[in-house]
Homo-oligomer: A and B are copies of this chain.
Amino acid sequence: MMLDAVETPAVLIDIEVAERNIQDCQDYCDEHDIALRPHIKTHKLPRLAQAQIDAGAIGITCQKIGEAEVMAAAGIKDILLTYNILGPAKLARLRCLHDAIKLSVTADNPTVLRGLSEAFADAEWPLAVLIECDTGGNRCGVQSPQAAVELAEQIGQSMGLRFAGLMTYPKAGGTADVQAFMAGAKALLAEAGYACATISSGGSPDLRQAHLAPVVEEYRVGTYIYNDRSLLARGACNLGDCALHVLATVISTPTPERAIIDAGSKILTTDLFGLDGYGVVIDHPALAVAALNEEHGHIDCSRAPGSLSVGDRIRIVPNHACVVSNMVDHVYLMDGDEVFSVEEVAARGMVV
């Protein structure tokens, strides 16, 4: 099947670019002796998770159990679930996963640890638990190294659990804060008799600064495999490094200054990340994706009036690749202009 036959709107993945991104990141991590644990939220495809592992990743990262279940069923053997898991139904699913693969999870509070311990008390081998630390990202995580020690002590006293180290999702530009918090916590933990098997950080924007926080032994990164306009804006990649494009058709040109495409927020999403507009139109630097309705994209042609006609197809690099993957049941894996696989986005929509 050739590109011309792909119905729009569609998500295209340039596999050569994606594989190059995988290798470049692996090379960087190898050079600095950092274990790479890619986050599959960007692609949600077992095939690309396997490609990441084949290139040298030690395992993958998932955020929801549903994602981990899909990846485990597809043969991925080592998964870190960076999420506080709560409630009997989810804990039972976690236990099933633990019986099948090498699983580790994170936790940042005593309630979650109590639930994990109840569910794993009679497990054949203990569940590895990393303590999530808030190093400035202001999301989840304990607020101080001392609080990490207290949770490590709780893990130490909990049946079925094993303290496995520290994890953080830092703020952008927060590499120095990661080093300070994690080094402090590691030292305090050592004083208390707890060794950190793993100290894990992550984030695509600061990937190439990972070695500047030498306390970090493992790095989790998702968007690097596809890249997107947000990473372009940060200077973390070039346009040619963007593996995911949204293919759209111009359906209306009500005025020379306005073209409407068949890709709206149901494929490009309204994620802005502080940017103006919703994507980069490839080969049309004067055009802007100015606004989105659910099924309509508004292309501002005022800097190049009349440059699009009804029936034209354009390619767009979206602001945020990860959420675009989540909007479609299938992506088209492209080798140049040839579709070599219409790939099911197997972990799409796995929010539970």
> A residues touching B (Cβ–Cβ < 8 Å)?
5, 7-10, 41, 63-64, 83-84, 86-87, 89-90, 108-109, 111-112, 134, 138-143, 249, 251-255, 258, 260, 262-263, 265-267, 269-272, 293-296, 298, 309-311, 322-323, 326-329, 349, 351-352
Contacts and interface: CB of A to CB of B under 8 A. Distances in A.
A interface, over-half SS: loop
B322 A349 contact: no
Contacts of A253: 109
Contacts of A311: 86-87, 111
Given A139-B260, A143-B255, A258-B138, A89 B7 contact: yes
Given A254-B108, A258-B138, A7 B294 contact: no
Given A86-B251, A269-B270, 10 more contacts: A7-B89, A8-B352, A10-B352, A84-B251, A142-B254, A263-B351, A265-B269, A270-B272, A327-B349, A328-B349
Given A87-B7, A310-B86, A112 B251 contact: yes
20 contacts: A5-B89, A9-B351, A9-B352, A64-B295, A83-B295, A84-B251, A87-B249, A87-B311, A108-B252, A108-B254, A109-B252, A109-B253, A111-B311, A112-B310, A134-B254, A139-B298, A140-B254, A262-B351, A265-B269, A265-B271
Contacts of A295: 41, 63-64, 83, 351
A8 B351 CA distance: 8
A283 to B, nearest CB: 20
Give the number of times this chain occurs in the complex, counting copies: 2
Contacts of A267: 351
Given A139-B260, A251-B140, A266 B86 contact: no
A328 B351 contact: yes
Contacts of A252: 84, 108-109, 112, 140-141
B109 A310 contact: yes
A317 to B, nearest CB: 18
A65 to B, nearest CB: 10
Contacts of A260: 139-140
Contacts of A255: 143
